[in-house]
Structure 1
Amino acid sequence: MASEAVITLTEANFESEISSSTVPVIVDFWAEWCGPCRMLGPILDDLATSQEGKVKIGKVNVDEAPGLATQFSVRSIPMLVFFKDGKAVDTVVGVQSKDALTKRLAALG
């Protein structure tokens, strides 16, 4: 489902992937059974490819990592959390266009 440019995040690798990143990170909290999540997947794949080296995109399956879903108060999916310098700085819920995501990234600097 995800392209090679998108990282699968788990409770085991989440902290190291986020804290070690030198670029902003978008984390997609999603689930297999979620229709809107499946709609967002190709948009994130495209963004990961077109913005390679400028952003890291990771996906957290909420069914496989319930601890992370709880930690970030995920109540609706898809939910995107934007990280900069290892800290969550923005959150958006629902399907977003590539354009909207690109603008949010630009705002992070």
Structure 2
Amino acid sequence: MFANKLCSLAAHSTRLSLNKNVWSTVTHRGLRSTAALRATFNVQDEDDFMERVLKSTTPTVVDFHAQWCGPCKLLAPRLETIISAKGEKVALAKVDIDNVSDLALEYGVSAIPAVLAIRDGKVIDKFVGLQDEVRIEAFVNKLIGE
């Protein structure tokens, strides 16, 4: 049975590589997630936050989250996709509240996911909870002035 599933998977992979339209879609998705990784970073501590967010000339979306938070896991890919589409206009800083709890307290985070928009060292906007793509897009556009 396992061998049949393996063969089925191999046949499916072959079809993907032979179908030009599907292959370009797969390649495009791979490039988008690579771009998202470049625009995304994990904040290590308060000093790191100061250097990479508050002193940054690039507007930054700050995602306060935790590994155990279900809505956080759903929100993260939405944020990454929207921010990666903006190129170098905006960055995404991810703050795990279990690792950098003092920073969460400093910014008044009482529920997660909590997302802040920071430009020139100041909080411009924020939202709490899982949001749809339209709301996130508007949030990011407001931050970068589009």
Residue matched to 2:43: 9
Residue matched to 1:102: 137
Distance in 2, matches of 1:70 and 1:45, equals: 24
What amino acid does structure 2 have at the position aligned with 1:25?
T
Distance in 2, matches of 1:48 and 1:10, equals: 21
Aligned length: 107
Percent identity over the alignment is 34
Which structure has the highest helix share of the two?
A: 2
Where does structure 1 differ by over 4 angstroms across 4 or more consecutive aligned residues?
A: none
**Mapped pair 1:36 → 2:68:** no
Residue matched to 1:63: 98
Which structure has the highest strand share of the two?
A: 1
Give the aligned CA root-mean-square deviation in angstroms. Answer: 1.4
Q: TM-score scaled by structure 2?
A: 0.68
What amino acid does structure 1 have at the position aligned with 2:40?
V
**Mapped pair 1:82 → 2:110:** no
Moved more, 78-87 or 95-104: 95-104
Shift of 1:22: 2.1
Q: TM-score scaled by structure 1?
A: 0.89
What amino acid does structure 1 have at the position aligned with 2:124?
V
What amino acid does structure 2 have at the position aligned with 1:71?
E
Is this contact kept in 2: 1:24–1:105, CA < 8 A?
no
The Cα offsets for residues 20-48 of structure 1, whole Å up to 9 and x where unpaired, read as: 32232110000000000000111112123
Greater Rg, structure 1 or structure 2?
2
Is this contact kept in 1: 2:54–2:118, CA < 8 A?
no
Residue matched to 2:27: none
Residue matched to 2:14: none
- Per chain length, whose mean CA-contact separation is higher, i.e. which structure has more relative contact order (CA < 8 Å, sep 6+)? 1
Distance in 1, matches of 2:42 and 2:83, equals: 13
What amino acid does structure 2 have at the position aligned with 1:8?
N
Give unpaired runs (5+ residues) of structure 2.
1-35
